[in-house]
Amino acid sequence: MIANRSALAPLSLITNRKQAALCLAQCMLLSLCAFAEQATITSFDPPGSRHTIPLSINSVGSVAGYYSDGSAIHGFLRTPDGSFTAIDGPGATATYAWSINSAGWIAGYFVASQMFHGFLRGPDGSFIAFDPPGSTWTMPQSINSGGMITGFYSDSNGTYHGFLRVPDGSLTSFDPSGSTSTRPSSINWAAEITGTYVDSAQLYHGFVRAPDGTFTTFLARPGQNTQPASINSAGEVSRYDVCLPLQAFPAIASRSAITSEGSCSLED
């Protein structure tokens, strides 16, 4: 028995060494992965900027936003190589590049003669200004990968309505039932739109508008303001809820239930 135990000892030692080596290799691999995933922060400002506000980044790392040079507000595009392009609407005193998609198309708005107009800027620098019919103030908020744009506009009575602009230039105005003010904030690749509307009691509701034009409306908490900010490709909605006193509650709502850990209530 003693001889047998002595014979097994080297094998046990070899096995333990192999396990230790494997464990060490795994630890080294995990350490390398963690090192590779460490975030880097790059500070930047367009030339002449006194105040820089980035608003949107696409999948290749191009950034859109706006900046002030002390006399006017300009939109900007920053490409991954660090170069900047200023964006200005025709006759504009202020231009806001609000959203950029994966192909480099930018949606935003500019101010000219004290009027807000929407715009679409192509990757080649082409510039298209647009306004929904009857608009006195147009503010695009989001562009998806297919070039569809959503945002809101004000009519002559000062009432906000949502709009959808498709690539051929057609514009559709929309409002959830009971809305006195509609403000879309985001559109995903499937053309699902999320945003906020206000009812006659001045309560803010969240909504998701489907591609067929139907609405799902919701409140994160009964009786409390809900303001969705973004919708992803899976139809999940990110939002913040505003209460009294004013407090922000970030949360995620799913496509199927529009709920956040059971705290969100569906409406008809």
Predicted local distance difference test score (pLDDT) of residue 40:
87
Which residues sit opposite 99 in a β-bridge?
A: 107
Distance in angstroms (rounded) separating the CA atoms of residues 209 and 257: 14
pLDDT at 24: 41
Contact 171, 152 (CB under 8 A): no
* CATH T-level fold of 45-174: Neuraminidase (2.120.10)
Residue 238's pLDDT is what?
85
Instruction: Name the pTM for this structure.
Output: 0.78
Q: Which residues pair with 215 in a beta bridge?
A: 209
What is the Cα–Cα distance from 262 to 125, expressed in whole angstroms?
Answer: 46
* CA pseudo-torsion sign 106, 112, 118, 121: negative
Secondary structure of residue 22 in the 3-state scheme: helix
Predicted confidence at residue 37, as pLDDT, reads 60
| Separation between Cα atoms, residue 161 and residue 155, nearest integer Å | 8
What letters, b where the CB count within 10 A reaches 16 and e where it falls short, cover 198-229?
beeeeebbbbbbeeeeebbbbbbeeebbbbbb
pLDDT of residue 150: 98
Q: Where are the alpha helices (DSSP H) in the chain?
A: 2-36
> What DSSP line would sit under 71-121, residue for residue?
S-EEEEEE-TTS-EEEE--TT-SEEEEEEE-TTS-EEEEEEETTEEEEEEE
pLDDT per residue as tens, the chain (268 positions): 334 434 334 434 334 444 544 444 454 545 555 545 677 899 999 999 999 999 999 999 999 999 999 999 999 999 999 999 999 999 999 999 999 999 999 999 999 999 999 999 999 999 999 999 999 999 999 999 999 999 999 999 999 999 999 999 999 999 999 999 999 999 999 999 999 999 999 999 999 999 999 999 999 888 989 999 999 999 999 865 544 333 333 444 443 334 333 344 444 3
Give me the pLDDT at residue 11, please.
36
